[in-house]
Amino acid sequence: MNGTQTSGYSKLQITLHWVIAALVAFQLIFGEGMTNVRDAAEEGTTASSVDTAVSIGHYWFGIAILVLVLVRLGVRLMQGVPQRLAGTPTWMDWAARLVHWAFYLMLFAMPLLGLLTVYVSDAFGDIHKLGKPVFIVLIAVHVVAALYHQFIKRDGTLRRILVPGR
Ligand code: HEM
């Protein structure tokens, strides 16, 4: 599934990484607006205009994430990913792979669960909400790893996702 190994990420891969990251940040920070709108509808009250606006963003940004992650996987299959850095311990390599595939899984599962909540049953909402702490833990591990590479190993890993390598 990794496709060919290359010297760096392409401009398209880097753009997709940061656009998806920004959209996910919005979903995690403002997701409760969607919950508030649904709670208000259930109670027969009116949600605030901010929550209403945020919930529309939540719906469409969530669908955009689903589409973009599919594009990202397609690009990964066609363009490949950079080679693992020489000298990285095997366990770290596996940990990185595990976290990256967990991200892909979550990026699929969360929009699908959101859609199931809206169109099938409220029961999916509880599982969808559980995705928030899971995402936060994954992001924390991912960021700590990036900082470790940047400031302790100084091996240019962070640069790979900022500057196109081909
Ligand atoms: C990666 C994409 C997504 C992320 C990270 C995400 C994240 C969140 C978060 C953090 C909450 C608030 C949880 C809370 O109140 O504690 C939430 C609520 C909600 N989201 Fe999403 N969401 C995503 C995509 C979607 C999509 C595509 C839809 C629907 C089209 C959707 C529908 C909902 C609904 C209906 C709720 C309220 C659940 C309830 O009240 O039971 N979400 N989401």
Rounded CA gap, 156 and 145, in Å?
12
Tell whether the model's pLDDT for residue 6 goes beyond 80. no
The class (CATH top level) of 5-160 is mainly alpha
Q: How many C-beta neighbours within 10 Å does residue 55 have?
A: 21
User: Model confidence over 43-88: pLDDT tens digits?
Assistant: 999 999 999 999 999 999 999 999 999 999 999 999 998 887 778 8
Q: In ligand 1, which atom is closest to the CA atom of 59?
A: 30
Tell whether the model's pLDDT for residue 1 goes beyond 60. no
Tell whether the model's pLDDT for residue 154 goes beyond 70. yes
Q: Is 21 in the pocket of ligand 1 (CB under 6 A)?
A: no
Question: What six digits make up the tokens of 71?
Answer: 């594009």
Half-sphere exposure of 101 (CA within 13 A, CB side): 7
166: confidence class by pLDDT, cuts 50, 70, 90: confident
Q: Is 127 in the pocket of ligand 1 (CB under 6 A)?
A: no
Q: Is 40 in the pocket of ligand 1 (CB under 6 A)?
A: no
Q: Which of 32, 63, 117 to mutate to test the pocket of ligand 1 (most atoms within 8 A of CB)?
A: 117
Q: Write the DSSP assignment of 65-111 as a string of letters.
A: HHHHHHHHHHHHHHH-EEPPPTT--HHHHHHHHHHHHHHHHHHHHHH
Q: Give residue 14's identity as a one-letter amino acid code.
A: I
Q: Is 55 in the pocket of ligand 1 (CB under 6 A)?
A: no
Q: Is 130 in the pocket of ligand 1 (CB under 6 A)?
A: no
> Which DSSP letter does residue 85 get?
P
User: Model confidence over 129-143: pLDDT tens digits?
Assistant: 999 999 999 999 999
Tell whether the model's pLDDT for residue 2 goes beyond 50. no
Q: Is 28 in the pocket of ligand 1 (CB under 6 A)?
A: yes
Quick one: average pLDDT of 15-33? Answer: 98
Question: How high is the pLDDT of residue 165?
Answer: 85
Q: CB neighbours of 148 closer than 8 A, spacing ≥ 6?
A: none
Comparison of pLDDT for 155 and 22, the residue scoring more: 22
Comparison of pLDDT for 107 and 3, the residue scoring more: 107
Question: How high is the pLDDT of residue 4?
Answer: 58
Give residue limits of the domains in the chain. Answer: 5-160
Distance from Cα 15 to the centre of ligand 1, integer Å: 24
Rounded CA gap, 4 and 82, in Å?
8
Atom 37 of ligand 1, nearest CA residue: 35
